[in-house]
Every structure is written in C-alpha cells, then in structure tokens.
Amino acid sequence: MDYFKSKYFTYGLENSLYCDNISVQEIIKKTGTPVYIYSKNFFEDRYKEFTQAFREVKHKVFYSVKANFNLNVIKTFYDLGSGIDVNSEGEFYRAYKAGVDPKKMLMTGVGKTSDEIRLAIEKDMMIKAESSEEIELINEIAAKMKKKARIAVRVNPNVNPQTHPYISTGLSQNKFGSDIEEASGIFKDYEKFNNISFTGIDMHIGSQITSVEPFIEAVDKLSEFYFKVKAYGVKIEHFDVGGGIGVAHNSEKSFSISEYAEALIPKLKKLDCEVFFEPGRFLTANGGILVTKVLYNKKNNFKKFIIVDAAMNDLLRPSIYSAYHHIQPVEISKTDKDIVADIVGPVCESGDFFAKDRTITETASGKYLAIMSSGAYGMVMSSNYNARRRPAEVMVDGDKFNIIRSRETFDHLLYDEKII
C-alpha cells in the first residue's frame, strides 16, 4: 500500500511512525488509544506558507476555530499573529481562555442568539451578519446598549463550489448569507441603521474545494458587488474571501496555496481595502492523526473487516461526508502483504466506519493504525454516543510532546446528572 506523504509524519527507527521527532509508539504508551496527535510544526509552517503566499496584498488571516478548538491549537495560531473566527459563545469562551483579544475575533454564524450578539457588541468584536432580520436585531440591541456595532454582511454569491453538498455554503439553496439583491438593499439603506457601522463584505462558499475556479468566480462576483456598495457611500474596510481550500489526502488532488494566491491576487489588488481569509482545515487537517488499536479481524463470507477501538463518535467525517482519510500502520514490516477490507469501529451503527473496501496492509489484534488528515473536524465533532469517552489529544513540538487534553473519565460522562 502507499503511505501518506508528509515530512511531519514519517517512518523512522524500526519502521515505526513518528510525528516530528517523537515516536507514535512512545506517545500511545502514555495515553492509550484512541488518541489525537498534532504536529505544532505543521500548524506553524502551514500558517506561514499561507501568509507568505499573499504577501503582495494587505491581508489578515482569521483561524477558523470550528476546525479544531483545542486551546493550544488556538493559541498556536494567535501567537503567530492570526485573528480568530468564532461561531458561538462556546467558541468565543475557548478563544478567550486561550488568551485571544476579543477585538481580534470575528463572530460568525447563521443563527446568532441575542446573547451572542450582546457579547460581541460588548467586547467590540466584528460581527458577520447573514440576514436583514439579524441586522435589524443587532441595531436594536446596540441601541439599547448605547453602542455602535461593527458588522460585515455575508453575501451568498450563488457559486457552485463542486464539493460535498453537506459542506457547500455558497449556493442559493444553502442557508448561509444574504443573496446579492437582499445585501444590496441592506447597504443602500445603511444610514437608517444608527447603531451599526458597516465595515465589510464577506463570503464563504464551502469546504474541501479542490478547484480554484469556484473561488475565482465568487471573488469576481463579490468584487463587482464591492464597487456597487462603495458607490452607495459605504466605506468598506475589508473584503473577506472566507476559507474552504481543499486538502489533499493522497487520493484527492487539490491546488497549491501558491496557485490559489496567483489566481486571486490580481483581482484583490483592485480593491481598496484589507483582505480577510478564514482558513481552518487548510491550516490543521494534515497536521493531525487519530491513532487507533486493532481489536479484531473478521470475515463475513468474502468480506473482510478490521475492527478498531476508535469509532464514528471519535471521527465522524467518513460516516457523514463519505470523507476519505488515508489509513496506515504505525509499524510496517517488509513481510506484510496487502488486503482489501473495511476498517470499522465498535459503535452499534452500520455507519460506524473509517474506510470501505480499502487496500491496507494486513494487520493483527493489538497492532495500531494511524488515520491521517485528522487535525480538522475530528475532536470538535466527537461525541459520547454509546457512552464512549472522548479521546485524549497530544501536541508534538519537535522532540517533545504534551498531553493537551486527557482522555475523558467516566465521571465526565455523568457530569451534573442526578437520579431523582
């Protein structure tokens, strides 16, 4: 079988998988499995690669916390100079606990509550508004607070991102953003909102977009809208391209960040404002793995199954998106042969799988597998289904590692429950 190509996850001594300079075997001796393992060096290098690619335009990166909200991951990007994109009070709380200045956060989300709007205004956060009703509510709350809210309007450019329908967000059939006609009316009547300062135009057309063409089309549409809004007399301070850049998982092809920048920079240079980006998966996905232990091998007629101790409650993406994650052994041997099997978890659902009909090195009970590209939308989407405890998280920094979240205990599962 092929192995995932990465300088951050390599096979070293005795053909054992390493994260940076630390053996995965050394980590799991301390943590057990399942466990998420992240490379801090990957996160830092990926962020620097992004900012370097767009050095020709005035820009700001806002790390999208929904991809991976561990406090140490947030802090890593914030320390590099990133702003932080939060989608709820809970994400705000995590970012705040990680030491992020609220003024360097964006409050996003299609269904913000009144409490979230009040919090954003109180902390002087930029609010990304998604509908005319929401803007009216923001204006009303800001008036009661005797403050002026800073908002940007998320516009839905009606562009097909050519991705999985569940992670498409830029079509008219999706719930996100205002269509161009509604957004135009909002900006045209900007003076009637006495407690709002309109500062930006935003978009986000989807996730795991593997072709640059949808971004080109969306930026073209939104640029045209930008100049229309300026003609209304609105001073636009930023133009937000969002995130959604595809990540290669070995089987998937995507464009490079330099190709992305090369396509967009000439268009962005025409705008007289700062450019915002909100990458999440791009910055974290290939910087993390989920390590799991093989429990059993079994066969139903001609069908082979490898049953592991991780499950859909630990990593949900394969079940709900049919997402591909490369899977490979933690220890390899020249005598191993390849088989075709389903890699499945112990949860009581047929949808509990990580791969189907996958070519993989033959393995045995007690061996370990690494599920690659698990640094985004892994732990953040985990649950306690089947009363399973969520896994530990580890951050590797060169030749040392730290447990940045311990495995949940059974007491965690019973938090604040009472028998009456």
Among 172-181, 257-266, 366-375, the minimum mean pLDDT is found in 172-181
Confidence at residue 40, expressed as pLDDT on a 0 to 100 scale: 98
Query: Residue 93: is its pLDDT beyond 70?
Result: yes
Query: Residue 159: is its pLDDT beyond 90?
Result: no
338-361: pLDDT as tens digits: 999 999 999 999 999 999 999 999
Confidence at residue 161, expressed as pLDDT on a 0 to 100 scale: 54
Active site residues: 348
Query: Residue 194: is its pLDDT beyond 50?
Result: yes
Confidence at residue 170, expressed as pLDDT on a 0 to 100 scale: 41
Under 8 Å between Cβ of 345 and 316: no
Confidence at residue 252, expressed as pLDDT on a 0 to 100 scale: 65
Over residues 26-33, the mean pLDDT reads 98
Q: If you average pLDDT over every residue of the chain, what do you get?
A: 93
Instruction: Give the whole-number percent of the chain exceeding pLDDT 90.
Output: 83
Pairing mode, if any, of strands 9-11 and 17-19?
antiparallel
231-276: pLDDT as tens digits: 999 999 999 999 989 888 766 677 899 999 999 999 999 999 999 9
Partner residues linked to 292 by β-bridges: 369
pLDDT band at 404 (very low <50, low <70, confident <90, very high): very high
Of the candidates 330, 338, 303, the residue with the CA atom closest to the CA atom of residue 12: 330
**More reliable by pLDDT, 4 or 147:** 147
pLDDT band at 13 (very low <50, low <70, confident <90, very high): confident
Q: What is the DSSP letter of 169?
A: -
Query: Residue 164: is its pLDDT beyond 90?
Result: no
Dihedral sign of CA atoms 347, 349, 354, 355 in order: positive
Helix (H, G, I), strand (E, B) or coil at 297: strand
Among 133-147, 324-338, 350-364, the minimum mean pLDDT is found in 324-338
Partner residues linked to 392 by β-bridges: 35
Place of tokens 């049919």: 322
CA distance 249 to 371: 11
Confidence at residue 168, expressed as pLDDT on a 0 to 100 scale: 40
**399: buried, middle or exposed (CB in 10 Å: 19+, 13-18, 0-12)?**
exposed
Instruction: Give the whole-number percent of the chain exceeding pLDDT 70.
Output: 95
**221: buried, middle or exposed (CB in 10 Å: 19+, 13-18, 0-12)?**
middle
Partner residues linked to 361 by β-bridges: 338
Of the candidates 77, 78, 74, the residue with the CA atom closest to the CA atom of residue 90: 74
Domains of the chain: 9-39+285-413 (2.40.37.10), 108-279 (3.20.20.10)
Helix (H, G, I), strand (E, B) or coil at 94: helix
Prediction pTM value: 0.94
Confidence at residue 81, expressed as pLDDT on a 0 to 100 scale: 98
CA distance 377 to 316: 8
pLDDT band at 420 (very low <50, low <70, confident <90, very high): very high
pLDDT band at 165 (very low <50, low <70, confident <90, very high): very low
300-324: pLDDT as tens digits: 989 999 999 999 999 999 999 889 9
Query: Residue 200: is its pLDDT beyond 80?
Result: yes
CA distance 242 to 89: 20
Confidence at residue 249, expressed as pLDDT on a 0 to 100 scale: 76
